[in-house]
């Protein structure tokens, strides 16, 4: 039985090597970016508009989740609360899409304005509140 399993693995190995050397697998080729037609798209996942925190403490944490996409490449994304920048992103694993989560530890009771700004390589700016 062990010999039979080893023969099957050996045969599969030869098939894979043969497929690669015979160009049965497509080569990776570079494709041009094209023109940058649109500004980045911002989707604030959390907190939703009208979100209220009801806690007895005066200060509580809030988690901000967002998604930013662009047709070519994102240059920068910044998150601000009431005009004060909390964090910004300038490096991305996927240059066309950012999924981010940021926890701001000290949100005071009251009404606040969350602003997300995203800029692409051509300088097109999109802002969401």
Per-residue pLDDT reduced to its tens digit, 14-54: 777 776 555 656 677 777 777 778 888 899 888 877 777 66
Identify the H or E element spanning 7. helix 2-21
Give me the count of residues in the chain.
129
- Give the domains, in start order, of the chain with CATH numbers: 41-128 (2.60.40.10)
Residue 72 has pLDDT above 90, yes or no: no
Predicted local distance difference test score (pLDDT) of residue 112: 85
- pLDDT for 23 equals 62
**Each residue's pLDDT tens digit, 92-116:** 888 889 999 999 888 887 788 889 9
31: Cβ contacts below 8 Å, ≥ 6 apart: none
């Amino acid at each position: 039985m062990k010999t039979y399993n080893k023969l099957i693995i050996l045969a599969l190995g030869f098939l894979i090597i043969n497929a690669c050397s015979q160009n049965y697998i497509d080569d990776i080729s570079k494709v041009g970016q094209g023109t940058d037609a649109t500004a980045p798209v911002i989707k604030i996942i959390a907190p939703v508009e009208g979100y209220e925190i009801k806690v007895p403490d005066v200060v509580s944490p809030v988690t901000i989740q967002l998604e930013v996409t662009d047709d070519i490449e994102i240059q920068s994304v910044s998150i601000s609360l009431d005009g004060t920048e909390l964090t910004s992103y300038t490096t991305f694993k996927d240059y066309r899409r950012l999924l981010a989560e940021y926890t701001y530890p000290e949100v005071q009771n009251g009404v606040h304005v969350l602003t997300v700004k995203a800029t692409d390589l051509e300088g097109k700016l999109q802002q969401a509140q």
